[in-house]
Structure 1
Amino acid sequence: MSGTGSSIAPKRYRGRTAVFALCGLALLLVSLSVAISVGSVRIPQSTVWGVFLNRISPGMVDPSWSQGRAAIVWEIRFPRALLAMMVGAGLAMVGASLQAVTRNPLADPHLLGISSGGAFGAILALLHTGLFIGLLTVPLLAFLGALGATAIVLGVSRFADATNADRLVLAGVAVSFIIMAAANVLIFLGDPRATHTVVFWMLGGLGLAQWSQLIYPLAVLSVCAVWLMARAGDLNAMTVGDETASTLGIPVARFRLTTFVVGALITGVMVAFSGIIGFVGLMVPHVVRMVVGGDYRRVLPGSALVGAVFLLWADIAARTVMAPEDMPIGIVTGMVGGIFFVWLLGRKRAL
């Protein structure tokens, strides 16, 4: 597969990396500012950063805004924007790592059924088990659901001898449909008065973001991202083939399984707080590889950066297209991702 490439990036990509990183960080800062500013109540950029500076160091800026606007910026939009960045970065890194260990350019936590498993776990917690261990219940069951979906996909692919990359995606899509059917059964059997809450997980959204809960996705993403970055060289080797990776001393089967588990952990926790948001993990790594090449030492941080920016703008679109109503962000990413998926299939055919 031409997109993943070898572990040694051509020199032409090395020169782009610094420019890409600087431009990406600047765009991320601008995107964060715009995401906090726009909405049903438009807030000036000066107010956004004034509120931020005053929260960091009280009295740094003389307040010229109302308490209501300060609350909108700090209590509602700032945690929402930060959650969008974490979810986008996490899903993009998962997609990139899955594409490496499966050598499949179409691998994505959504298409492989991992997101559906996470949603199943979240719905189970919300409608049937209750929060038996507090706020950790939904992330925990979402992770277990994502992990279970991963195990089922791997089992089905082995049972059907779906070692081919395209057939692995088909196995994931089939499992995703089955899991979502099971999730619909849970909704049908649940309390009708509470089923409206699961729409959030079915369509995706960031409206429930709270400062007190951001620590969970941040902790999981930080630990897992460090692990993935530390194994970037192994991911490079996996893109070449199992035999080559084995000759380099990589325990291929164990490393692939561990990567799937790490991907399930990230996806499950992100789904628990944002619902099902598809195609981020499919699109972003391909875009990044076009700019910085196939070396995963660049692809992983680049995917995290672009994924964060992309989901910020997807959320901006979701809040402005049908303002003052919030469109589910999963609709935006699904629309963009579907178009990208068709383009990618056409590109593969042309190569």
Structure 2
Amino acid sequence: MRRMSIGQWPGRVLHALWISALLLMAVLAGVAIGETTISLPVIFQVLANKLWAAGFAVDAIDEGIVWNYRLTRAIVAAACGAGLAISGVVLQSLLRNALADPYLLGISAGASTGAVLVAIIGLGAGAISLSTGAFVGALAAFAMVALLARSSRGQTATGQIILAGIAGSQLFNALTSFLITKSASAEQARGIMFWLLGNLSGVRWTSVLLSVPVVIAGLLVCLWHRRSLDAFTFGADSAASLGIPVRRVQTILIATAALVTAVMVSIVGSIGFVGLVIPHAVRMIAGVRHARVLPLSALSGALFMIAADILSRTLIKGQVLPIGVITALVGAPVFALILLRGNRSR
């Protein structure tokens, strides 16, 4: 791996500070905006009280809204958006297909099935138990999709794996529906169905402590393999000719994408289009170098999900929409534009 020259450090530090500032402003906006507007001074006072016991006189209701509700939602939304965007970048690069993402390849559906199965059969409803079940389901879904695509012509062609992913998604969605119908109580079924559409209402600080480290670790793993991802842009054979251990890198990166997706799904449910739209849009602006694409996709995904969360809470007064509805309303038209653009370029 090439070392970073001393002259590159100021630019990289400046970019990191810029990204951090944008993310901080987005989180503050997510905390401030809602049915009840919370001013920035009140937010800072609540944070000072909770983090450093500053002793500011803050209304108990405002403190509860900021600390226990909106701040956790904003942080988890940012982590979820960043994680899904990173997973989309990795899958699109490894498969050399701009339409690949955890949702289309069945990874999200498999993770949902695994998490629902764990919850219904009583193995636990905690974050770790659900994440473990979701991870197993995500790996099983991707393995099945890869086998389906490979068995069609003996190789994993990108078009075939997308079609296999759509079939896998339908299969695991059907399994999830069967499990809910067969085993869940009416109240449990309502909660699961709302969660499957993307739900941030139930997130707490335990969700923050699980999602944020997983996303940061996933981003670091992907950045470590950024040059390998650059090489995969030209195909696995080209990457192998450059001395990259193709199988090992593919295994590590696919497992990373599956783990990140599984944790996000176990916390907020299955959310589509983020891993598809964000990486594609970032590549149109920043090029194909993964040293830029990965952090910018993580930032863009985080900003997009925070904005979607704000819309889900404010679009209809007195109601909170599932965040997956918002991402689908934005992502579906963009997905159609990607398809049209691809057809015109042929």
Q: TM-score, structure 1 length as denominator?
A: 0.90
Q: Secondary structure at the match of 2:201?
A: coil
Kindly state the Cα deviation for residue 56 of structure 1 after the two structures are TM-superposed. Answer: 2.4
Aligned ranges 1:1-351 → 2 under 5 Å: 24-59=19-54, 62-63=56-57, 65-131=58-124, 134-161=126-153, 163-190=156-183, 191-351=185-345
| C-alpha distance in structure 2 between counterparts of 1:294 and 1:21, whole Å | 19
Q: Give the 3 Å change call, closer, same or farther, for CA 23–56 of structure 1 in structure 2.
A: same
| C-alpha distance in structure 2 between counterparts of 1:255 and 1:36, whole Å | 39
Kindly state the Cα deviation for residue 291 of structure 1 after the two structures are TM-superposed. Answer: 2.2
Summarize deviations over 1:40-86 as a string: whole Å, max 9, x none: 222122212221233222227x43x3111111100111111110011
Answer whether contact 2:149 2:157 (CA < 8 A) is retained.
no
Q: Give the 3 Å change call, closer, same or farther, for CA 289–22 of structure 1 in structure 2.
A: farther
Kindly state the Cα deviation for residue 287 of structure 1 after the two structures are TM-superposed. Answer: 1.6
Q: TM-score, structure 2 length as denominator?
A: 0.91
| C-alpha distance in structure 1 between counterparts of 2:23 and 2:297, whole Å | 13
Which stretches in structure 2 are left out of the alignment for 5+ residues?
A: 1-10
Kindly state the Cα deviation for residue 17 of structure 1 after the two structures are TM-superposed. Answer: 8.7
Summarize deviations over 1:77-96 as a string: whole Å, max 9, x none: 11111100110010000000
Summarize deviations over 1:194-223 as a string: whole Å, max 9, x none: 111212332011111111232222232222
Q: Secondary structure at the match of 1:276?
A: coil
Q: Secondary structure at the match of 2:105?
A: coil
How many residues get paired? 334
Q: Secondary structure at the match of 1:160?
A: helix
Instruction: State the superposition RMSD in angstroms.
Output: 2.1
Which stretches in structure 1 are left out of the alignment for 5+ residues?
A: 1-15
Q: Secondary structure at the match of 2:233?
A: helix
Kindly state the Cα deviation for residue 102 of structure 1 after the two structures are TM-superposed. Answer: 0.4
Q: Secondary structure at the match of 2:243?
A: coil
Q: Secondary structure at the match of 1:214?
A: helix
Aligned residue identity for 1:39: G
Q: Give the 3 Å change call, closer, same or farther, for CA 135–24 of structure 1 in structure 2.
A: closer
| C-alpha distance in structure 2 between counterparts of 1:39 and 1:117, whole Å | 33
Kindly state the Cα deviation for residue 19 of structure 1 after the two structures are TM-superposed. Answer: 8.5
| C-alpha distance in structure 1 between counterparts of 2:127 and 2:299, whole Å | 28
Q: Give the 3 Å change call, closer, same or farther, for CA 20–173 of structure 1 in structure 2.
A: farther
Kindly state the Cα deviation for residue 24 of structure 1 after the two structures are TM-superposed. Answer: 4.5
Q: Which has the higher contact order (CA 8 A, sep 6+)?
A: 1
Summarize deviations over 1:128-178 as a string: whole Å, max 9, x none: 23318x542111101111111111111111112363322221110111001
Q: Give the 3 Å change call, closer, same or farther, for CA 282–18 of structure 1 in structure 2.
A: farther
**2:6 — aligned with what?**
none
| C-alpha distance in structure 2 between counterparts of 1:291 and 1:148, whole Å | 34
Answer whether contact 1:24 1:306 (CA < 8 A) is retained.
no
Aligned residue identity for 2:142: T
Answer whether contact 1:242 1:252 (CA < 8 A) is retained.
yes
| C-alpha distance in structure 2 between counterparts of 1:69 and 1:80, whole Å | 15
| C-alpha distance in structure 2 between counterparts of 1:92 and 1:342, whole Å | 18
| C-alpha distance in structure 1 between counterparts of 2:307 and 2:207, whole Å | 22
Report % sequence identity: 36
Moved more, 177-186 or 257-266: 257-266
